[in-house]
Structure 1
Amino acid sequence: MANVDLFSNLFKRKRPALATDAVNAAGGAAYQRSDAQALAQYVATGCLSNTFYASAKDQLAELQRLALLAPAPFVARAAVYAREQGFMKDTPALLLAVLASRDGALFEAVFHRICDNGKMLRNFVQIVRSGATGRRSLGSRPKRAVQRWLKNRSDAQLLAASVGDSPSLADIVKMVHPLPDTPARRALYAWLLGRDHATDELPAAVREFEDFKAGRTRTPPDLPFQLLTARPLDKHQWRTIAERAPWQMTRMNLNTFLRHEVFDDPKLTRKIAQRLASPEQIQRARAFPYQLLMAYKQADPKLPRIVREALQDAMEAAIANVPAIDGKVYLLPDVSGSMHSPVTGRRKGATTQVRCIDVAALVAAAFLRRNRDAELLPFHDRVLRCELKAAEGVMKNAATLAGLPSGGTDCSVPLRTLNERRARGDLVIFISDNESWIDAKGRGRATGVMREWEAFRARNPRAKLVCIDVQPSATVQAPDRPDILNVGGFSDAVFELVAAFARGGLGPDHWVGVIDALAL
């Protein structure tokens, strides 16, 4: 539970028990989240891209507003949470840039935890230079932090970090003017900048890379393949790359391997399939179930069957820790029109194929897999019939749910259906974007969800409600309280959070409490 004394009056919000005080992005009545809860949700799921209801610009403005209202220590912890537990990229970099202007000491304390690779360093520098946080230059303290980052990386790590641009690693080196402390580092900086250097002083990894580029060697060096593809590669070289690829690279490049005849080698194909399905490698790669869903949806139908089945096996491994929940459980996945938008928003050249509805279907199917007497009530403006078999694979059940017809959004309708049936139950789980509008009655009255939930609890006084919001929003359909938990975003942790809440082990301000408890 959060230590609420840490937040100022501006960072808290009180309301009557049921009266609404906001309008959501779809125009429906809703409850405004406290600033602390809203910021916590952004760091769990904020994508800073165009979602169905909110533009990237709107989300950026709201996130900046919240980051300026929050106490600086909470912002620092939120940035660390977003990176280390949410595995996000844009949001932690933005919060770090805000800290650079607000609190230099806290900025330095968390810099190395946010900028843990070259991609994150480039994100941070790009955000600062964009002027989004009020400055366009790094300044002395951030410059020293970047210099330390460069100094503490090995030559091989810097070479790997040279993948990417806008800005490139060379651009960053030009900005901060790091002082090389060895001849090899001096030669490496000169090589990155395209300046004269002593070839024999270059680090061994760079010399191997240069030999490969020049065709003096045939075997690809053990480097990120994005560096190696600057020259044409034959199928044998691609097979070498695929054979030693880590799990995430394998997942993301299955179609590329197919195009370059990697899977024409049966022995290597079996090795790749075993890698994909390995529970140990899945855990080490910090794989999200939706990443596996994305890989499965993007997989070329021509991929070998053993590889496609390995993705399904990987999904089962990724959700192996989904807990069984005591009592009667109802699963309410939203299949309305807005749920067909990309879960991480629309971004030119980088829009995911995974939709909100796919995530909703995945969560519902995963819970159903472990809680086989759970009842499923998919809905839009009415409840739809959908018969799923818990014993079926999660991928198959998720695809069936995601294929249901869509309509408008009335989040109260599945609860109303349960009330009409005088249903008994212990836990109700919504998976939605929370943008209910058909039941809108205006501010000052309870939402349809709350009216129906109060009726449900009258029969089931110990029942609990979990609302999983798959996209960031400052409003909810049911306010946080001891019997109601709002969860922002989706990760492996969601399943255990829901189970802990059902057991009575969590307070409604869980996300705020988790962030506030992080050590800096």
Structure 2
Amino acid sequence: MKFNFLAKEKNTVVNYENAVAFPLTPDYELYAAVVTTSLNASFYEKDTTRLERIKDLIQKSNPVFVAKLAVYARNEMHMRSVPLVLIVELAKIYSGDSLISKMITQVIQRADEITELLAYYQMANERNGVKKLNRLSKQIQKGLANSFNKFDEYQFAKYNRDGAVKLKDALFLVHLKAKDEAQQVLFNKIVNDALQTPYTWETELSKVGQLKYYNEAEKQKAFTQKWEELIDSNKIGYMALLRNLRNIVEANVSRYHISKVCDYLSNEKAVANSKQLPFRFLAAYRELKELNSKYVPMILDALEEAVMASAQNIKGFDVSTSVVIACDVSGSMQKNISPKSKIMLYDIGLMLGMLLQSRCKDVVSGMFGDRWKIINMPKRAILSNVNEYYKREGEVGYSTNGYLVLEDLIKRNEIVDKVMLFTDVQMWNSNMTKDSFAYSWNRYKAIAPNAKLYLFDLAGYGQTPINVEKNDVYLIAGWSDKVFDVLNALDDKNSALNYINRIEL
């Protein structure tokens, strides 16, 4: 008994709150770190610390898994920077077959990602001097050549930025031969900086802004007309529209045009194709709430409809499934995900929790800090629910006593199918009793042997308060509603890593 106890203790670590925690395998830790990062400082880690940890984990992980993770992060989690990091760092230690080129071909979805990848390659390999990008990896060269064949003149022109690495630099580096005469004409335009200026909301508004006006009223009228023209053109992408809702309202466009905007925002097909992270809707919702306009209620309703449409894709919850949703509102969750964003991990947890609640028939939801509190909310008002939770910030304190969610179920002898926590998983017991999260789960399993526990890791710090994938415990990480696809795929013999490993390269 004593020997077994000591052996088990060697497999534990302490988390950032100095509480006992369990380490993850390198693959699992890399997965959690990648899908919860914007490569900016987190509550417990500086931005360089996270990047260095990711680089270290790449060296310890299965190369094929790293490649599939990059594809998953880009195409299902809709992340842009970190997949490029995975490509370059894996290329530094792996060679010999076509893994890197296949990885690049699947990851690059926008023309500017070609130049961004090269810019990071230059930085990561500490290249200096005139020829910073000479001796390019053959597999990176091949993957980028494949990527060049994905885009047309409009796409190249739209993302032809004046950065450290330009499109024409990339074209020279990959030594790509044109597949036909039309592509050669396009390549010549890239080399000669002669790409046709694309019709985008940025270029059109820039033209209006550069004109001279007799007075402010004339200028305002010009912007109103331009926004109405842009809306009528149907050429504003979903993300651009979402980010410009405030600008559109302040431009005083007509009711007709506001209605067009609302129809597009709430269109189920448009929502499905938009690939927007859920918190983008929340950011737009909050931005609009501050405005004094008669059109704001219409747009807020459209945003609620859009989020409900995105929730329709969440599978795996029938009438008989009973669920507890617990959102971590501790102090460490109140960290902005990037310097330019007003969105915090706190918001992401609430947003994902309310999305899930909208799909569950038999559900109890609430928040935990020092205490656990059940808060009943309607199912068809996801964004306003999140805002309501947000207003109650501080109501349950700022610790991370997640074990109290389980102790409440034990106390009430409540048997549920799934217990789901949206958290940074830095659990501890501020009450200084013997109860740990793992201890409470083992106690609950004694009365609810078929119950399953899901930890939705929103921070990716590399440890968990309980041994995952044992005793019906699962870890799922990420900020996208796509985490629910992973959830739906889980069973006793599965894990989030199996879901990623299904990807074909």
Which AA in structure 2 matches 1:403?
K
Q: Is the 8 A contact 2:322 2:361 kept in 1?
A: no
Q: CA deviation at 1:165?
A: 3.1
* 1:128-160 per-position Cα deviation (integer Å, ceiling 9, x unaligned): 011268996361523454345335532222112
1:516 aligns with 2:498: no
Change beyond 3 A, Cα 1:440–1:42 = farther
Q: Which residue matches 2:115? A: 122
Take 2:80 and 2:156, find their aligned partners in 1: how far apart are those partners? 19
Give 1:445-456 correspondences, 5 Å limit: 448-456=436-444
1:475 pairs with 2:463: yes
Confirm or deny that 1:382 pairs with 2:371.
yes
The 1-side partners of 2:407 and 2:11 are apart by: 19
Q: Name the amino acid aligned to 2:445.
A: R
- For 1:85, the aligned partner's letter is E
* 2:328 maps to 1:337: no
Q: Deviations over 1:187-231 (max 9, x none)?
A: 766665667xxxxxx66xx1xx3xxxxxxxxxxx6x233333443
Change over 3 Å in CA distance of 1:475–1:258 after alignment to 2? same
Give the 3 Å change call, closer, same or farther, for CA 93–140 of structure 1 in structure 2: closer
C-alpha contact (below 8 Å) 1:92/1:114 kept by paired residues: yes
For the residues of structure 2 that align with 1:459 and 1:71, how far apart are their CA atoms?
39
Corresponding residue to 1:231 among 207, 214, 217: 207
Aligned equivalent of 1:316: 308
- Paired residues of 1:447 and 1:478 also in contact (CA < 8 A): no
Q: Is the 8 A contact 1:365 1:398 kept in 2?
A: yes
Q: Report the counterpart of residue 165 of structure 1 in structure 2.
A: 163
For residue 439 of structure 1, report the CA deviation from its aligned partner: 5.0
Q: Distance in 2 between matches of 1:439 and 1:372?
A: 33
Amino acid in the other structure paired with 2:291:
P
Q: Which moved more, 1:315-324 or 1:461-470?
A: 315-324
Return the match for 1:26 from 14, 17, 22: 17
Deviation, 1:341, is: 1.1
Match of 2:26 among 27, 30, 35: 35
- Cα drift, residue 176 of structure 1: 5.1
Q: 1:317 to 1:181 in 2, by over 3 A?
A: closer
> Which runs of no fewer than 5 residues in structure 2 stay unpaired?
1-5, 210-221
Q: Could you say what secondary structure the match of 2:467 adopts? A: coil
CA distance in 1, matches of 2:428, 2:456: 18
Q: Structure 2 CA distance, aligned partners of 1:226 and 1:392?
A: 35
Is the 1:163–1:226 Cα contact (8 Å) retained in structure 2?
no
Q: 1:216: which partner in 2? A: none
- Answer whether contact 2:325 2:353 (CA < 8 A) is retained: yes
Structure 1 window deviating more from structure 2 (19-28 vs 49-58): it is 19-28
1:49 touches 1:55 (CA, 8 Å); kept in 2? yes
Counterpart of 2:382 in structure 1 is 394
- The aligned counterpart of 2:218 is none
- What is the aligned partner in structure 2 of residue 490 from structure 1? 479
Measured in 2, the distance between the counterparts of 1:256 and 1:35 equals 45
CA contact (8 A) 2:354 2:386 kept: yes
One-letter identity of the residue aligned with 1:157: Q
Q: Is the CA contact (8 Å cut-off) linking 1:46 and 1:471 kept in structure 2?
A: yes
Higher relative contact order (CA 8 A, sep 6+): 1
Q: Which residue of 2 aligns with 1:301?
A: 291
1:343-492 to 2 correspondences below 5 Å: 345-347=337-339, 351-384=340-373, 386-404=374-392, 405=394, 406-438=397-429, 448-480=436-468, 481-492=470-481
Does the 8 Å contact 1:97/1:133 carry over to 2?
no
1:320-348 deviation per Cα after TM superposition (whole angstroms, max 9, x unaligned): 23343534322211111111112xx334x
Distance 1:276 1:413, change over 3 A: same
Find the counterpart in structure 2 of residue 199 from structure 1.
none
In the alignment, structure 1 residue 292 sits paired with structure 2 residue 293: no
SS at match of 1:45: coil
Partner of 1:4: none
Q: What is the DSSP-based 3-state SS (H/G/I as helix, E as strand, rest coil) of the residue aligned with 2:378?
A: coil
Cα deviation digits, residues 380-412 of structure 1 (max 9, x gap): 02123x532334511122212222214122222
Contact 2:429 2:435 in 1 (8 A): no
Q: CA RMSD in A?
A: 3.0
**Would you say the 8 A contact 2:102–2:143 is kept in 1?**
no
d(CA) in 1 for partners of 2:163 and 2:57?
29
Distance in 1 of aligned mates of 2:150 and 2:383: 43
Offset, 1:422: 3.4
Structure 1: 5+ residue runs without aligned partners? 1-14, 196-201, 210-220
TM-score by length of 1: 0.81
**CA separation of 1:144 and 1:419: change in aligned 2, threshold 3 A:** closer
Alpha-carbon displacement from aligned partner over 1:246-298 (angstroms, at most 9, x marks no partner): 2222112112223433xx22222111110000001101112332221222123
1:415 alignment partner, SS class: helix
Report which stretch shifted further, 231-240 or 84-93.
Answer: 231-240
What residue is the counterpart of 1:48 in the other structure?
A: 39
C-alpha distance in structure 1 between counterparts of 2:110 and 2:479, whole Å:
23
Amino acid at match of 1:363: L
Q: Could you say if the C-alpha distance between residues 188 and 496 of structure 1 is closer, same or farther in structure 2, counting changes exceeding 3 Å?
A: closer
8 A Cα contact 2:311 2:356, kept in partner: no
Cα distance, 1:48 vs. partner?
1.7
TM-score (norm 2): 0.83
Match of 2:136 among 135, 139, 156: 139
SS at structure 1 position matched to 2:372? coil
Q: CA deviation at 1:162?
A: 1.0
Q: Cα 1:514–1:16, aligned 2, differ >3 Å: closer, same or farther? A: farther
| 1:61-76 → structure 2 map (5 Å cutoff) | 61-76=52-67
Query: Aligned equivalents of 1:171 and 1:38: distance in 2?
Result: 36
